[in-house]
């Protein structure tokens, strides 16, 4: 990548920065930026007598005044980041947001969606843009790829958040153990850390750390909650404040305790975790009362494509869940209802999660429709067969005679969604998972316009339900 940037380096003036050796070797006034990804090409640049700037030293040449909040985890990054962004804006802070949905500043879109975490040059440029717009905070999603590839090199965070760690991206990280190691490495410093204390895979470094949890007792805990209609909960914030001195000269810790009620239109236990992560982070950074922070939560209606309600009657929800754990979290939100689900799995991605997704669906759903997601360059039917490998033989044996459960195979996603909508019963919730707010489908390497939400509305209109 090449970006425009006036920079004085090694007694020379440059007009551009690039991490692409071809660009540096063929164009004038371009300074080479060495990253973990291109380090093996640096020798060629050096032999040409050209200057080299390490990515970690970019911080000396960019305006990085916003306080950077980084969120990592297998699931929940996008929603947690959006909640923080929304509440900080409501509290009167100037704020930017960067992640899966794109780049925003002070409620205005700056750039469309791209990578969860962009490359290091683009990232620095985005933070500097936020600085020029006067942003006090810069909230960003941090993917495991970005951590391992050091796309965040040189950045100082005011807070780091861990949502959870389950299985994903094993095609890249090769093992779950390595994936867990990479996620935890993000927190191996003295930056303020906001950690999910119910996550057993988190290596909790207590130095400058705060916890949030539903099952465990920690800094931000849940006393009681209901998921019947949205989310309602009673929260408790407990922290040892600075030491106070008694008359005898001894110092004792003073414990501060705050309580508040929250109400949110979001669905699901996983979104309660996302809310807790956001509230704990904002509490630590702003020192505002928990009650003052929580009152702004009711203004947050959710993220497009994340537990997005397309229809209330019948209840149809579109979500981005594309791992077995993400699916489980969605299913757990509707245990009191009969579940009909439509899902597939992405092509040219981690194959190990496909059978797990199939198994997860059989554990919760009464109706299962397996279809295509983004096959990319893979055969859609081969992907479907990988998913079917996780469905127990006992389930398959009873099909289709067992009318309490039903399995449908339909590679055409549009047909699959329309059929599921047509056959939805009044007492069922229909969950369409995997693509969320994506507006294209990649088949045989070609991109076609496709939006799950549009297909649902089209199906409902054909049935005269809207």
What's the pTM value of the predicted model, to 2 decimals? 0.87
pLDDT at residue 244, rounded to an integer: 46
What is the C-alpha separation between 92 and 203, in angstroms, rounded? 34
Mean pLDDT by 10 residues, the chain (466 residues): 95 96 94 94 91 97 97 94 98 97 96 88 97 98 94 97 79 80 92 96 88 96 92 94 55 82 93 97 97 95 92 94 91 91 95 95 95 97 97 72 76 98 95 95 96 97 90
pLDDT at residue 228, rounded to an integer: 84
pLDDT at residue 243, rounded to an integer: 43
What is the C-alpha separation between 295 and 35, in angstroms, rounded? 43
State the DSSP H helix or E strand holding residue 371, giving kind and residue range, or none if neither: none
pLDDT at residue 355, rounded to an integer: 97
Residue 164 CB contacts under 8 Å (≥ 6 apart), including other chains = 73, 74, 75, 76, 196, 199, 273, 325
pLDDT at residue 229, rounded to an integer: 80
What's the residue count for the chain?
Answer: 466
Long-range contacts, stretch 48-51, CB < 8 angstroms, 24+ apart = 50/24, 50/25, 51/9, 51/10, 51/12, 51/14
Bridge partners (DSSP) of residue 399 are none
Question: So where are the chain's domains?
Answer: 2-60, 67-299, 308-462
Strands (E), 76-156: 95-99, 102-105, 108-111, 137-141
In CATH terms, the fold of domain 67-299 is: 3.40.1190
Domains 67-299 and 308-462 equal at CATH topology level: no
Domain 308-462 class, CATH top level: alpha beta
Residue 269 CB contacts under 8 Å (≥ 6 apart), including other chains = 214, 227, 329, 332, 333
pLDDT at residue 328, rounded to an integer: 93
pLDDT at residue 128, rounded to an integer: 98
């Amino acid at each position: 990548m090449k970006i425009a940037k006036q920079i004085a380096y090694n007694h020379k003036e440059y007009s551009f920065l690039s991490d692409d050796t071809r660009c540096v070797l063929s164009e004038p006034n371009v300074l080479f930026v060495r990253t973990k990804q291109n380090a093996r090409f640096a020798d060629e640049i050096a032999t040409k007598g050209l200057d080299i700037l390490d990515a970690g030293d970019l911080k000396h040449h960019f305006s990085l005044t916003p306080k950077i909040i980084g969120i990592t985890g297998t699931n929940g990054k996008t929603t947690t980041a959006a909640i923080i962004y929304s509440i900080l804006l409501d509290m009167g802070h100037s704020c930017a947001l960067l992640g899966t949905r794109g780049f925003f500043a002070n409620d205005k879109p700056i750039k469309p969606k791209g990578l969860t975490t962009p490359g290091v040059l683009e990232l620095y440029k985005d933070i500097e843009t936020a600085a020029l717009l006067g942003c006090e905070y810069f909230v960003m999603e941090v993917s495991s790829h970005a951590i391992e590839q050091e796309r965040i090199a040189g950045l100082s965070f005011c807070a780091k958040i861990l949502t959870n760690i389950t299985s994903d991206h094993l095609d890249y990280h090769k093992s779950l153990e390595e994936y867990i190691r990479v996620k935890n490495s993000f927190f191996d410093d003295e930056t303020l850390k906001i950690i999910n204390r119910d996550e057993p895979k988190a290596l909790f470094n207590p130095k400058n750390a705060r916890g949030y949890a539903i099952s465990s007792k920690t800094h931000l805990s849940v006393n009681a909650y209901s998921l019947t209609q949205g989310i309602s909960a009673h929260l408790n914030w407990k922290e040892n404040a600075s030491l106070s001195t008694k008359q005898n000269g001894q110092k004792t810790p003073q414990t501060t305790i705050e309580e508040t009620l929250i109400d949110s239109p979001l669905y699901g236990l996983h979104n309660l975790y996302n809310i807790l992560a956001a509230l704990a982070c904002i509490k630590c950074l702003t020192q505002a009362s928990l009650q003052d922070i929580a009152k702004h939560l009711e203004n947050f209606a959710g993220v497009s494509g994340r537990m997005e309600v397309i229809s209330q009657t019948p209840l149809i929800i579109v979500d981005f869940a594309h791992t077995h754990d993400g699916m489980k979290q969605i299913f757990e939100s509707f245990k009191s209802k009969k579940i009909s689900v439509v899902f597939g799995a992405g092509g040219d991605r981690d194959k190990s999660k496909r059978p797990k997704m199939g198994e997860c669906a059989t554990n919760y759903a009464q109706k299962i429709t397996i279809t295509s997601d983004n096959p990319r360059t893979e055969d859609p039917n081969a992907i479907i067969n990988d998913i079917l490998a996780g469905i127990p033989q006992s389930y398959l044996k009873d099909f289709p005679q067992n009318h309490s459960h039903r399995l449908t195979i339909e590679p055409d996603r549009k047909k699959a969604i329309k059929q599921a909508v047509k056959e939805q019963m009044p007492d069922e919730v229909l969950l369409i998972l995997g693509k969320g707010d994506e507006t294209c489908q990649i088949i045989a390497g070609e991109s076609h316009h496709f939006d799950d939400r549009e297909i649902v509305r089209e199906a409902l209109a054909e049935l005269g339900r809207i």
